[in-house]
Amino acid sequence: MACTLAAGHDIGIVSEAGCPGIADPGAQVAQKAQEMNYPVRPLVGPCSMILALMASGMDGQNFRFSGYLPIKEPERSRAIKELDKISTLGSGETQLFIETPYRNNQMLKDLLTFCSLQTRVLVAMDITGPEEFIKTRTVEQWKKENPELPKLPSIFGILGPQKRTGRSR
């Protein structure tokens, strides 16, 4: 990288589903370029987390992206319960995270098991692709639908039931 930049050439990082440096590799390249005092210019383009949040109906002014949740138990259930709690209490922060396509069904099953019945769950798959699927339902509604998710790049989100505080957004 350094030789390419020192020779006056540009380099780029592209992603097929996430956003380089956020949900995909790329942070190390940007960090190295920053350390070497080369300009880093982000380009406007689709970002699956933001697109999923925009279509979800969940709070886009107060959210957190948590990357991948733990795979193994009991860490996974603990993480889901904690995110559900955070999304319900206080400021009601929308929680976004990703999962590998072959674990989509297990992720949805775990969310339906460990989140409260009124927590809203977002499943956003293949965003801007031919099989795009973006749905937000409560845990209770998802349990009735019992969908079988395809093995596609996915974003998941949760937002617990909000207590009225008199504050407007």
Express each pLDDT in 77-111 by its tens digit. 999 999 999 999 867 899 999 999 999 999 999 99
Q: What is the CATH number of the domain that holds 113?
A: 3.30.950.10
pTM recorded for the entire structure: 0.82
> Same domain for 99 and 19?
no
Higher pLDDT, 92 or 4: 92
Contacts of 38 (CB under 8 A, 6+ apart): 5
Alpha-helical regions (H) of the chain = 2-6, 27-35, 48-56, 75-88, 104-114, 139-145
> Same domain for 72 and 111?
yes
> Same domain for 18 and 60?
no
Answer whether residue 60 is part of any domain.
Answer: yes
- What's the whole-number mean pLDDT along residues 42-60? 86
Answer whether residue 2 is part of any domain.
Answer: no
Answer whether residue 167 is part of any domain.
Answer: no
The number of distinct structural domains making up the chain is: 2
- Whole-number Å distance between alpha carbons of 37 and 31: 10
- Whole-number Å distance between alpha carbons of 84 and 80: 6
Peptide bond preceding 74: is omega within 30 degrees of 0, i.e. cis? yes
Answer whether residue 169 is part of any domain.
Answer: no
- Residue range(s) defining the domain that contains residue 139: 48-159
- Whole-number Å distance between alpha carbons of 75 and 37: 39
* Confidence band of 135 (pLDDT split at 50, 70, 90): very high
> Same domain for 66 and 143?
yes
> Same domain for 77 and 135?
yes
Answer whether residue 130 is part of any domain.
Answer: yes
Handedness of CA 55, 56, 57, 58 (dihedral sign): negative
> Same domain for 115 and 143?
yes
> Same domain for 39 and 86?
no
Length of the chain: 169
Res 167: pLDDT: 47
> Same domain for 86 and 73?
yes
> Same domain for 40 and 54?
no
Burial class (CB in 10 A: 0-12, 13-18, 19+), 75: exposed
- Report whether pLDDT(48) > 50: yes
